[in-house]
Structure 1
Amino acid sequence: METIEHNGKVYQLDEDGFLASFKQWDEDWVDYVRQLEGIDKLTDEHHKVMISLQDYYKENGISPQVRTLSRITGFPLKDIYELFPSGPGKGACKMSGLVRPSAG
C-alpha cells in the first residue's frame, strides 16, 4: 500500500491514490488534494460538494455517480467540473476522502 506525507501526517492510499480509509480524512488531506488539483482557495461550493458526497457515502456505502452528485448538490455538471478540474470522481471524491466511484 502506498503512503504519502503532508503537513507531517502520513496517509495510506489505495491503488488509485485515494485514501485507503475514510477514517483518515481530515483538513490536511483536503489541503493536499486542493494543491494537487491546482485549486487556489476552496469556496462554499467546494465544501457543499464535499459534504454532499460524504453524506451520500455514509448513507449508501458507495460514492454517488456523477449525475447523482449533480442532483444532490443542485449544481450542473459543468459547475462541478469547474470546481474540481480533474472531475467529480478523481477530484471531488478524492478530496472528500471517498473511494473512487465506479464507472457504472
Structure 2
Amino acid sequence: MPTASYSHKTVSLTDDGFFEDPAQWTEDMAPEIAKTAGIDELTEQHWQVIRFMRAKYDTDGTGPSVRALGKTSGVTVKELYQLFPKGPAKLAAKIAGIPKPRGCI
C-alpha cells in the first residue's frame, strides 16, 4: 500500500493516490497535495470546492460528480475546469482527502 507524507504526517493512499482513510486529512495538507497535482496556490474558490467535497462525502459517502459539483457547489463547471484541470471532481477529491467519486475514471 503506497504512502505519502503531508504536513509531517504519513498517510496511506490507494494505488490511484487517494486517501485510504479520509479522517487522516487536515486542511494543512491540501496545499501540499495541490502542489503535487500542479496547482501552485489554493484560492478561496478552490477552498469552496474542497470544503464542499468534504461535506458531501460526510453526508453521502462519496464525492459529487463534476455535473453535480457544478450545479450545487456555487462554482460553475467551466470554473471547475479552470481551478482543477484534468478532471475537476477527481482532482478536487484527491486534494480534499476523500476517495475518488463514483463514476470517475
Normalising by the residue count of structure 2, what TM-score does the alignment of the two structures yield? 0.88
Give the Cα separation in 2 of the matches to 1:76 and 1:10. 34
Q: Deviations over 1:4-23 (max 9, x none)?
A: 12342211101211011111
Give the Cα separation in 1 of the matches to 2:63 and 2:40. 25
Q: Which amino acid aligns with 2:17?
A: G
The answer to whether 1:31 aligns with 2:31 is yes
2:51 alignment partner in structure 1: 51
1:70 alignment partner in structure 2: 70
1:81 alignment partner in structure 2: 81
Give the Cα separation in 2 of the matches to 1:12 and 1:88. 22
Percent identity reads: 36
Aligned residues: 104
Structure 1, gaps ≥5 residues long: none
Stretches (4+) displaced over 4 A: none
The answer on whether the counterparts of 1:90 and 1:100 sit within 8 Å (CA) in structure 2 is: yes
Structure 2, gaps ≥5 residues long: none
The answer on whether the counterparts of 1:80 and 1:88 sit within 8 Å (CA) in structure 2 is: yes
Q: Deviations over 1:3-42 (max 9, x none)?
A: 1123422111012110111111113421221111222221
**Aligned-pair Cα RMSD in Å:** 1.6
Q: Which amino acid aligns with 2:85?
A: P
Give the Cα separation in 1 of the matches to 2:40 and 2:77. 21
